Structures are given as structure tokens and as C-alpha cells.
Structure 1
Amino acid sequence: MSEQVSRILPGRRVSRRSVLQSSAAALLSAPLVVKATAAFGQEKLAGTGEVVVYSYGGSFTENLRKYVSDPFTKATGIRVVDVTADFAEPQIKAMSAANRVDWDIALVIAQGYSELHQAGVFMPIDYSLWDGEALKGVPESARLTDAVLAFRNANLLVYDERAFPKGGPKNWADFWNIKEFPGPRGLNANLGYHSMLYALMADGVAHKDLWPLTHDKIDRALKKLDEIKPHITKWWAAGGEPIQLLNNREYALTSAFDGRALAAIKQGAPIRMAWDGATIGGIPWTVLKGGPNSANAQKFIAFVNRAEMAAAFTQATGYPGPNVNQLKYLPADLLPLLSINPENAAKTVQLDHAWLVAKGPHGKTNSDHIQERWLAWRAG
């Protein structure tokens, strides 16, 4: 079930910090602040001591503390200690190897989850601590045995509405339609499988038929990409690039991360999101086996998945957690901008991470094989 928590392919130099630190504090003029009381925490979540939580640092951790961690402490009496780094997986491996685990909770990428899950370094999640609204709101696909989806992120089509005053593109077929939607374009330089999926959708492949990316589909995608390649004025690499280039009118339309686009829109940028064909991945919470405060870690996981706290997390970070019951706690103007909105979710494509990390007949992981094809095509 690890496809539910996919994110960055091995070897891709895309910093999660650069993706996630998207001026989340500017998302709303009045972010939700949960009234954290002992009653809200409930007796079964009350405790003492601390819990050590890894996240990405910068504005992500600052806002997580203000809108999630501090309310957790107020409600439960458990203090949250932040630890930050750009990547958690090397530290988790080192701590496990040394039999000295200093963290309790970590966000991990999908590849890291798959490998570390096999190594048995995560504790089972204690779902008995969850309230009914969380259990009903978080789908079973997001509730793994030893991980819980923390948030979803999307790569999607965004455009400068100034370039299309009569209406902008709605899907990837429109992205390829130079005649009706003229202007400079952008695509991600690193994540080749995303662009291949976009190309297949532009070529008429239905969402349900995209996976697996077999040899014939890769060939078909690259042939379709040949059509758009001359119109890609810059292959962007850092998460903030496509939004900045849209603002500068150096792009008319591009792929981009949803959190970056959302933050820019809330700040007044003339940018619009097109959800049809957005590719969706995610990052899970994990509780590390052997951590110093495992019982408190389980309480934190239960707390952050409550509907009100899920809404606070979404507003704090710009990326929605999986609990759909949070929608009733979010401002109406934010709902159209979120992947968790049912209307948007119905148009998206889930990444098949299980297939991407599996080894093919070539002896490599499918993701590595795709990336080799992608880099060769880019260089051609």
C-alpha cells in the first residue's frame, strides 16, 4: 500500500524544503486556531513529558508548531520537541543501526517508507486512540499498519490568467494545444514520470489506463513530448521557479506544486489551477520503534488527525491531510484550491509508487529505468 505515500524518486535533487516552504503563513488572513482544552484532548490523550517530532524546518515547522504542536501541548500536557533536517531517512537508518533512536515521529518519503518498513523500524499505529470523526474521515488507504498519510501534494497544470482573459487551459490536452493556448511553457526538469503521464493524458489515455508505464507507453509519451519540447522555454527544477516565472510572465502555463500555487493565489497572484490530470502523491507520519516517547507519539498522531486539527494543519502548511471531515472547518475560499476537495480529487491521478519502486526485467527499479529514458530524451 506504499503507493499512498509516494513523493520524490531516488536520486532526484529536489529538496522537500524547497517544495514545502511556500509562505504558508500567508495562506489565510485569519488561520484556524483550535481552542485547545483538556476536553478537546480527551482523557485518553492526556499525558506528561515530551515527544520528539521531525519535520522540515523553516516556515513549515514554525507553522506546524503554532497551529498544531502548541495546541497539542495545551490539550494534552505533552511538550513537542522539534528536530529538523531536509531528509529524515539517513538519520533513521543510522539511529536504528546504532540501536539508539532519539526521535519519536518522522515524516518520510515514499521510497524511504518502503525500505524502512521492510527493515521493521516503524511501530504499528495505535488507531484505538483515534476519535470516530478521524476514523471515518481518514480513508483506509491512508491508514497503513505502521504509517499514516500526513499530507497529500500534487503536481498540476497552473497558468497565468492574464495570458488567457477568455478562459485558460483545463487539462493536459490544452497544454499541448499551442494554437488555442499560445505562450511559453514550463515542465519539471527532474520528475520525468510526471511529464510522461501528462503526455499520455494529452494523447488521449484515460486516467485508469496510465499505470503501469510499460515500454510502449513510455515510447508513446516521449513521442508526444517531442511535440511540446520546442515550446518549453525553461525546464524548472526548484519548487518556487514556475510560480515566479508565471508572475514575471516568462511562462503562460506550466506544471507546478499545488502548495506553491495555493500560497501565491492567496497572496493575490493572477494564477489559476487546473486539477484535471493532477498527479497526487503524499508523505506519511511514522512512529519510530525504540523511540524515547512512543506512547506520546501515538497520542500526537491521533491528535493531528482529528478533523479540526487536520484543518489547522492544512492552513498552517498549505498541504491537506487526508481527513475529509476537515472540510467543514476550512474557509470556503480555500476549498477550490485543495486536492482533498472531492470535486478536485475526482480529476486527479494517484501515483503508483509500488510499481515505481519495483524492479523490472532490466534489473533496475522502474523509476530508475524511466529516469534514464527521461534524461536521454532531454539530452537529445
Structure 2
Amino acid sequence: MSEQVSRKLPRRRLSRRSVLQSSAVLLSAPFVAKATAAFGEEKLAGSGQVVVCTYGGSFVEGLRKYVSDPFTKATGISVVDVTADNAEPQMKAMREAGRFDWDIAISNGFFPAYAELQQAGAFMPIDYSLWDDEALKGVPESARHADGVLAYQNATLLVYDERAFPKGGPKSWADFWNIKEFPGPRGLGVYSSVGSLVFALIADGVARKDIWPLTDDKVDRALKKLDQIKPYVTKWWAAGGEPIQLLINREYALTSGPDGRALAAIRKGVPLRMVWDDAALADNYWVILKGGPNSANAQKFIAYVNRAGMAAAFTQATGYPGPNINQLKYLPAELLPLININPDNAAKTIRPDYGWWFAKRADGKTNADHIQDRWLAWRAG
């Protein structure tokens, strides 16, 4: 959740492009999942184009090579790329103007604007009749909403420099707080209120099943625990690439950080270790804009990218796995321990409660706004 921040957060919010794009090309092994031609011809064949908004840079480069171009080859539908760090403001502006230039975008499940657009009926229902059996069985129902499909989940987790701990590194967030046994400079995200609160509660002995909802008493407890580690946080990272680079530079010994960035560095031979215990997950959704110019083609793209082989291609291209668990059989064996949908890793993670996050409090604020206000006050103190 360090990758996910509320719109309430200010001034220098994390750029999703900065979080995602450096992972993509680094992960692009010479791998392209083979399309099931017969299925593509039967249900997904078409003509014209589909306009897809993603993050630009190496993210869209990898996506084009390993997903979009194969989609065009299989279906005859061309993909037009548009880019935005955060798609939600432009989607809101298009809706207000009554003119939609995009067909598909990726929207952040933690952003209030996503919930606002969803509640306003801005997204089309997903046509699951176009999906093949392997996709329907591999993508859990929790990831298949009526008007959106999980594009990928990212995790914020404990990452450490193996060079700093030659006799064995930290294995938990409690170890992150253990300065005596695991000395060295620490890192946490400056805007990652949810992740840091979750990690503090885990370090203080709260079971992962009891983390959510983040009630006031839990926030009090988490901030008290964070008071203990605050003097040892030598730099509060503000963009997704920072914590991994600071580990590489030996300015950190251990830090919270995004799984995709850590994965990319590890595959390049950097001696880092990812600790999956109590990693914090966050969701990002494929949505089809109601009123977009190519809605039928958009449905076909969504169906295609969620097929198991193409889900594996997406993971290879971006470093962030889509939800189809059947993709695991298409991925290189060395990648499996490094991704968050590996069942062994997934079982150790913490999922957010989005319903609670956007719920209104008695004072009229959402829980999201309230927690961000408390976080900013604590950071300023």
C-alpha cells in the first residue's frame, strides 16, 4: 500500500509511472505467450482499434511487445496507447465533458476518484461471456467485478540488502523494529500511511487477520509504535524507485518497498531479499469507460489479457502479476518465488478492506481522509 495513496495526499504524491515503469523492460525475458488462435478467431476477432490508457515508459513498451501486439495479431484489432500517471482525473474530466476519448484505463482501487467514478456508473459491465474457461477458472470471483477486473496487484513489503546481514537478515516487521539485532539505516514511505500503519501493528503483535479495519485505537497503537522507529528512518522515500536504489547504494540496510521494483533488481543480480510475511497488497483495475468509442473491442482486449498465457505475458512485461493463477504454469520457474500471486507468498499477505476505507465516519469524513489527516499530523510532529 505504500504504492497506493489517497487523492487527499498532497503536494508530491507518488507517481504510479515511477513505481511501475522501470520494472517492465528489465523483466521482459524473450517470452511471448502463444495465443489460442481458434478461440481468438471465434470470439475475439474484429477490426478497428481500441484506445488503452496505461503508465507510459517501459511499462507500455513491455505491454505493447508482449500483450498488445499479440492481441492485434490474434484478433485484427489495433491498440492505440495513451499514457497518464493517474488516469482518474482525466476520466472524470471526460465524463463531465460528455466525450470519451479512451476505451480502457487502469484505475487505482485506493483512490477515492475510482470509487466516485464507479458509484457514478462511469464504467461498463464486463462481458465475461468472451472469456475462455481457463480465465474464468483462474481469475477468482473477488477479482471479477461487474464493472471492472483486477489488472494487477502490487505488494509493499520488507526488502533488505543481503550485504548488510551476511549471517542472515530480518524475517518480519518485528525484526525491522529490532535495532539491536538488525542494525542499520531504515526506510519507510513518506506518503505510505496505510502500509506503515499496518507494518507497525504487525510489529506490535497484531495478527494479520485483525489488522483491518484501521479503527482509531489501532491507529493510536500504530503511531505509538512508529514513534519507536522514527529516529532510525534516515530517509522517507517518496517514489517507488527510491527504496531499491537506496538499498543498492547502501544508504539503507532495510526498508519497505514495492515488490515489482525489488523483483527487477533481484533479476539483474542485485543482492536483495524480499520478505513476504505480512506484505501489504493493493489493487489496480482494468475499467472500460462507458461511452468510449470502441467498447466492443475493449471487451475483447479485457478478455484477451486475462487469458492465462497472456496474463503470464503481462507479468513478464510489467513485473506486476494479474490475478489469473493459471498463469503460473507459463512463467519461468525462477520468477515464481518473486511474485505476489505465488500461493506461498499470497498466503502471507494482508489485503485491504476497501469498503471500510471509503466508508463515511460520523463527522462526514471518509476513513481514508481521516487516516491521511492523522498520518500527515504525525509526520509533521
TM bracket (short chain): over 0.9
The aligned counterpart of 1:136 is 137
Q: Residue 261 of structure 1 aligns to which amino acid in structure 2? A: A
User: 2:357, 2:366 within 8 Å by CA — same for their partners in 1?
Assistant: yes
Amino acid at match of 1:65: R
Change (3 A) 1:141 1:37: closer
Equivalents in 2 of 1:250, 1:185: separation in Å? 9
Q: CA deviation at 1:72?
A: 0.1
Q: Is the 8 A contact 2:262 2:274 kept in 1?
A: yes
Q: How far off its partner does 1:93 sit? A: 1.6
2:341 aligned counterpart, secondary structure: coil
CA distance in 1, matches of 2:299, 2:126: 7
Partners of 1:336 and 1:295 in 2: CA distance: 37
Q: Which residue of 2 aligns with 1:106?
A: 105
Contact map agreement 2:33 2:330 (CA 8 A) in 1: no
Distance in 2 between residues matched to 1:31 and 1:146, nearest whole Å: 33
What amino acid is aligned across from residue 20 of structure 2 in structure 1?
Answer: L
1:193-272 counterparts in 2 under 5 A? 193-272=194-273
1:277 match: secondary structure: strand
1:17 aligns with 2:14: no
Distance 2:23 2:282 in 1: 21
Whether contact under 8 Å (1:7, 1:283) holds in the other structure is: no
**d(CA) in 1 for partners of 2:75 and 2:199?**
45
The equivalences for 1:1-380 within 5 A come to 7-12=4-9, 13-27=13-27, 30-36=29-35, 38-39=37-38, 41-110=40-109, 111=111, 112-380=113-381
- 1:23 aligns to what SS in structure 2? helix
Partner Cα distance (1:358, 1:314) in 2: 32
- Verify the 8 A CA contact 1:356 1:365 in the aligned structure 2: yes
- Kept after mapping to 1: 8 A contact 2:71/2:304: yes
CA contact (8 A) 1:159 1:168 kept: yes
User: Which shows bigger deviation, 213-222 or 350-359?
Assistant: 350-359
Report the aligned-residue RMSD. Answer: 1.4
Alignment: residue pair count: 375
Q: Distance in 2 between matches of 1:354 and 1:271?
A: 35
Query: Secondary structure of the residue that 1:333 maps to in structure 2?
Result: helix
The secondary structure found in structure 1 opposite 2:250 is coil
Deviations 1:33-90 (A, max 9, x none): 1234633524111111111111111111111011000000000001111111222112
Deviations 1:199-238 (A, max 9, x none): 1000100011111111111111111111111111111111
Which ranges of 4 or more aligned residues in structure 1 deviate by more than 2 Å?
Answer: 34-40
Question: Which has the higher mean CA deviation after the structures are superposed, 139-148 or 350-359?
Answer: 350-359
**TM-score normalised by L of structure 1:** 0.96
Letter in 2 for 1:99: G
1:236-273 Cα shifts (integer Å, max 9, x gaps): 11111111110111111000011111111111111110
Contact 1:100-1:290 at 8 Å conserved across structures: yes
Percent identity, aligned pairs only, is: 74
Amino acid corresponding to residue 65 of structure 2 in structure 1? K
Question: Is the partner of 1:59 in helix, strand or coil?
Answer: helix
Q: Which moved more, 1:350-359 or 1:116-125?
A: 350-359
CA contact (8 A) 1:185 1:231 kept: yes
Letter of the structure 2 residue corresponding to residue 323 of structure 1: N
Q: Aligned letter for 2:270?
A: A
Q: Is the 8 A contact 2:108 2:285 kept in 1?
A: yes
TM-score by length of 2: 0.96
> Which range moved further: 38-47 or 218-227?
38-47
Q: Residues 121-157 of structure 1: CA distance to partner in whole angstroms, max 9, x if unpaired?
A: 1110000000000000000000000000000101100
What code does the residue aligned with 1:7 have? Q
Does the Cα contact within 8 Å between 1:31 and 1:315 map onto a contact in 2? Answer: no
Q: Which amino acid aligns with 1:101?
A: F
One-letter code aligned to 1:8: V
8 Å CA contact 1:134, 1:305 repeated in 2: yes
How far apart, CA to CA, are the structure 1 residues paired with 2:374 and 2:90? 31
Contact 1:106–1:286 (CA<8 Å) still a contact in 2? yes
Amino acid at match of 1:227: Q
Q: Distance in 1 between matches of 2:238 and 2:178?
A: 24
Secondary structure at the counterpart of residue 157 of structure 2: strand
Deviation at residue 98 of structure 1 after TM alignment = 2.1
Corresponding letter in the other structure for 2:95 = S
Q: Which runs of 5+ in 2 are unaligned?
A: none
Unmatched tracts of structure 1, length 5 or more: none
Per mean C-alpha deviation after superposition, the further-off stretch among 109-118 and 151-160 is: 109-118
Query: Which digits, 9 at most, give the CA deviation of each residue in 1:85-133, with x for residues without a partner?
Result: 2221122122222221111111112233211111111110000000000
